[in-house]
């Protein structure tokens, strides 16, 4: 199959490209920047998108906009896909986009609804937080003498596990919104910060804090978790120490 990966230069997109190529598929990587292994295009302005999408059977849409323009990216992609004869669009979303009242999540949920109403063949895969994001959030665990962490839990998942799942979806028939995909463990932010500290060899005092506000209440209630879906294989500690079982 001929497959376009938007966001193929990103944290998730890179292993998606690797996984699809390992499966023998012909992959195009979209990027706003020119490069030897990329096709140029910008989903915000539409520049280059028609030719990037032309002739592909599937688009794995990993590109994202953290500044509220997620639907704009989706709209550009859908218009080009209609013009190109309607390839299958596989969209990556986040567990809890309809439960956690965060602007970025609202935009992702609106984009999900936009793809579902587009009339194009589509699959939506929601995943829990990536290991890299959780490590980034807790990076203070290696720098500060005392590390304040919110009293919430995470279910971090490895991007290579998500990439394998997206590969299977891209090679299958369009399936609408499929079951959530989550990491193997649910751990408190305190446990995760301890793991970050241990992996770096620097031990800090970790202080769990209750954070006010409806967004943190939604996180504290587990709106971003998928306890019934622990399909990811790699644990957070394995990710931190590079001891993976892939």
Ligand X SMILES: NC(=O)c1ccc[n+]([C@@H]2O[C@H](COP(=O)([O-])OP(=O)(O)OC[C@H]3O[C@@H](n4cnc5c(N)ncnc54)[C@H](OP(=O)(O)O)[C@@H]3O)[C@@H](O)[C@H]2O)c1
- Alpha-carbon distances, residue 212 vs 101, 132, 139, 188, 219 (angstroms): 13, 25, 22, 17, 11
CB of 9 to ligand X, least distance (A): 4
Q: Based on the shown chain and the rule CB under 6 A, indicate whether residue 31 belongs to the binding site for ligand X.
A: yes
Burial 123-147 (b: 16+ CB within 10 A, else e): bbbbbbbbbeebbebbebbbeeeeb
**Contact stretch for ligand X (CB under 6 A) within 6-14, 77-85, 114-122, 140-148:** 6-14
CB of 7 to ligand X, least distance (A): 3
Interface map 40-59 toward ligand X (x if CB under 6 A): --xxx---------------
Residue number with CB closer to ligand X (80 or 92) = 92
CB of 203 to ligand X, least distance (A): 26
Residue 23, CB half-sphere, CA atoms under 13 Å: how many? 22
Handedness of CA 214, 216, 217, 219 (dihedral sign): positive
Residue number with CB closer to ligand X (10 or 174) = 10
Residues in Cβ contact with 31 at an 8 Å cutoff, skipping those fewer than 6 apart: 8, 9, 38, 39, 40, 41
Residue of the chain from 18, 50, 65, 198 that contacts ligand X (CB under 6 A): 65
Q: Based on the shown chain and the rule CB under 6 A, indicate whether residue 127 belongs to the binding site for ligand X.
A: yes
Q: Based on the shown chain and the rule CB under 6 A, indicate whether residue 96 belongs to the binding site for ligand X.
A: no
Q: How far apart are the first and last CA of the chain?
A: 25
Binding site for ligand X (CB under 6 A): 6-7, 9-13, 30-33, 42-44, 62-65, 73, 92, 94, 108, 127, 129-130, 133
């Amino acid at each position: 199959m001929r497959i376009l990966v938007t966001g193929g230069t990103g944290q998730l997109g890179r292993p998606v490209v690797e996984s699809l190529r390992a499966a023998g598929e012909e992959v195009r990587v979209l990027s706003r920047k020119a490069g030897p292994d990329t096709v140029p295009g910008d989903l915000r302005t539409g520049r280059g998108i028609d030719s990037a999408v032309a002739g592909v059977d599937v688009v794995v849409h990993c590109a994202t906009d953290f500044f509220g323009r997620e639907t704009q990216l989706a709209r550009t992609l859908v218009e080009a896909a209609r013009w190109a004869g309607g390839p299958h669009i596989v969209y990556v979303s986040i567990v809890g986009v309809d439960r956690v009242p965060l602007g970025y999540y609202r935009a992702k949920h609106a984009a999900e609804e936009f793809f579902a109403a587009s009339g194009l063949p589509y699959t939506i895969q929601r995943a829990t937080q990536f290991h890299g994001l959780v490590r980034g959030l807790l990076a203070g665990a290696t720098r500060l003498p005392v590390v304040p962490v919110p009293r919430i839990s995470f279910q971090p998942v490895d991007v290579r596990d998500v990439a394998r799942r997206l590969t299977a979806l891209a090679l299958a028939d369009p399936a609408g919104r499929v079951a959530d995909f989550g990491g193997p463990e649910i751990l408190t932010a305190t446990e995760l910060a301890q793991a970050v500290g241990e992996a770096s060899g620097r031990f800090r005092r970790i202080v769990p804090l209750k954070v006010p506000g409806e967004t943190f209440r939604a996180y504290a209630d587990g709106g971003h978790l998928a306890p019934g879906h622990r399909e990811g294989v790699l644990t957070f500690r394995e990710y931190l120490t590079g001891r993976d079982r892939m």
